[in-house]
Chain A
Amino acid sequence: MSGILVYALHYEGAFNKNSLGAVSEGARLAQQLGTECHAIVIGEGVSDDLAGQLGNYGASKVYRVEGPEGLAQPVVDAMEAAIAAGGHEYALFGGGLLGFEIGAGLAARLDAGVCMEVTSVRVEEGKLVAERPILQDSQISSVHYRSGVGVIIGRLNAFEVAETGGTATVEDLPVEFKAHSLKAKMVQRGEQRGADVNIEDADVLVAGGRGLGKKEGFDALEELAGALGGAVAATRAVVDAGWYSYSAQIGQTGKTVSPKLYLAAGISGAIQHKVGMQASENIVAINKDSNAPIFEFSDLGIVGDLNKIVPKLTEAVKAKKGA
């Protein structure tokens, strides 16, 4: 057995960055192991051109499976078939919801070890060892696999995208889906809710979390963002609660940003949020809990009640800028 199989997620004719990073990482590791990196794509009528693009990120072969895209279980069936055909030793996923769901399902199917939130993979004695930060990133543990196949689920964008200029052969893989895999049906995919705001180009982002207490809490943040000349962003918790629009969501299932200033108000600093904003140049956090994880990676942390601080800060910024 040898080889690494990477799942690549796509939508409307393009792969997501996270998947391209995973393919790049798979290719890098395969080279070190002296084996090959293969990729697998699933969808309805995936073109040669689209599937073949993965060669440019280091895949030597791409399995193309005709089936529903965007749901996990058909991909588990497809990957089981690909591994049976190719004898891969590892299955690698970028982060994101489907990576978790497919990776976990595949581990169950193959009675395999699985490690998630992986930030780095190393080769040790001809085997892959996954590194996973735990306890709010305060420790890094090494995970060794003791199963025929090892399942590695990366943290979002943990793996760098690297173009190799290589090419891949595209092989159609017929898959007979399990009955239960077809009992979940996509009704609508990728729906955008709420007005579009452009947070990716803003130099200054003022982000709000559940600590705002209610939808109206965002009014004060909009004022502050206005004074600072920036835009408002949000955590998933408040987007899920309907307090702010999805287009402003930062993090694993939202946008990745790197403004000059990221001011977080009432945000705990969960990993899935952190991955979307940790590249910001200056991180300021206001949180009333001195133990909030966000203070571990902010440059300036203010322990206090945002309801008291934000309005006064807005006034002070206006005064300073007016001066």
Chain B
Amino acid sequence: MKICVLVKEVPDAAVEKRINPSTGRLDRGGEKNLNPFDTHAIEAAMQLKEGGALSIDEVVAVTMGPESAKRALTKAVSLGADRSVHLSDDALAGSDVNGTGYALAQVLASENPDLVLLGQQSDDGECYTIGAVVADHLQMPSLTQVIKIDVEGGALRCERQAEYGYDTVQVELPAVISVGDAINEPRYPSLKAIMGAKKKPLETKAAGDVGIEAGRVGYDNARAHCSEFAAPPAKAAGQIIEDEDTNETVEKIVAWLDERKLLA
């Protein structure tokens, strides 16, 4: 069996994100990192492989993005993926959710996986939607925001928190599952794995290689266009106390609470 894990390079959480006003797109400059949720997806793939209840021949990391996105793949491989695929093409730049999900589905289809895993959200804005988009294109059952996966026969028994409490859902393979960060504790890559990661196969594909129709991707073909950024209505900034002397801090908090009659 083959597991494909979707990964993405995102701006480091410590970097302040901003919009480039001239393009209306997220400014993706600065420090980059593998999207934290994706490390949980890779870990989930490794645990399925090592668990032995499914016989997994390989775990393939897949990303779409510019040249620099290769680093996310190298990181994914150092965490255990056997090889990686990089979908990279100028025609894809500026794709919206609809175009991105379609393009990713095309590259996944060329791999023909038994299971697609991904993080439920990316740090830079795609909002828990890619899994469901990809699944519809691949015609696979799908579940998002999963926090537990057990293998049951040839199917997966997944748990997640939903509107009315916890849901347990059985999903037949092949399937697309997006995972939350509570699902596991990702391992740290060994030094050997880090050193070896650059030597594992990395295949680069252009849009045409996986049959992506040019009219469905890229900024000009986005079905939803973002524009007109505005500041939200201002809310009066709250008071801030830097804790230097904790006794003093606590006194101030108590005084603040008392003033508002919250200690009655």
Contact = CB atoms under 8 A, between A and B. Distances in A.
Interface range on chain B: under 10, 10 to 19, 20 to 34, or 35 or more? 35 or more
B170 A185 contact: yes
Nearest to A237: B182
B211 to A, nearest CB: 16
B253 A300 contact: yes
Q: Is the interface of A mostly helix, strand, loop or mixed?
A: mixed
A114 B232 contact: no
Contacts, number: 273
A188 B160 CA distance: 11
A316 B243 contact: no
Nearest to B156: A184
B225 A144 contact: yes
A36 interface: no
A191 B165 contact: yes
A303 B242 contact: yes
B165 A180 contact: no
B97 interface: yes
B161 A301 contact: no
A137 B180 CA distance: 22
A316 B169 contact: no
Contacts of B102: 108
A304 B246 contact: yes
Interface in B14-39: 17-19, 24
B163 A184 contact: no
Contacts of A189: 162, 164-165, 167
A181 B140 CA distance: 8
Interface in B209-264: 216, 222-232, 235, 238-243, 246-247, 249-251, 253-254, 256-258, 260, 262-263
Interface of A: 9, 11, 16, 18, 70-73, 76, 96-98, 100-105, 107-109, 111-117, 132-135, 137-147, 150, 178-181, 183-193, 204, 228, 236-237, 239-241, 246, 253, 260-261, 282-284, 290, 295-305, 308-309, 312-313, 316-317, 320-321
Given A97-B163, A150-B224, A302-B240, 20 more contacts: A72-B142, A73-B135, A100-B128, A100-B132, A108-B133, A113-B223, A114-B224, A139-B229, A141-B19, A141-B228, A183-B140, A184-B142, A187-B157, A253-B163, A282-B260, A295-B238, A300-B239, A302-B249, A312-B246, A313-B253
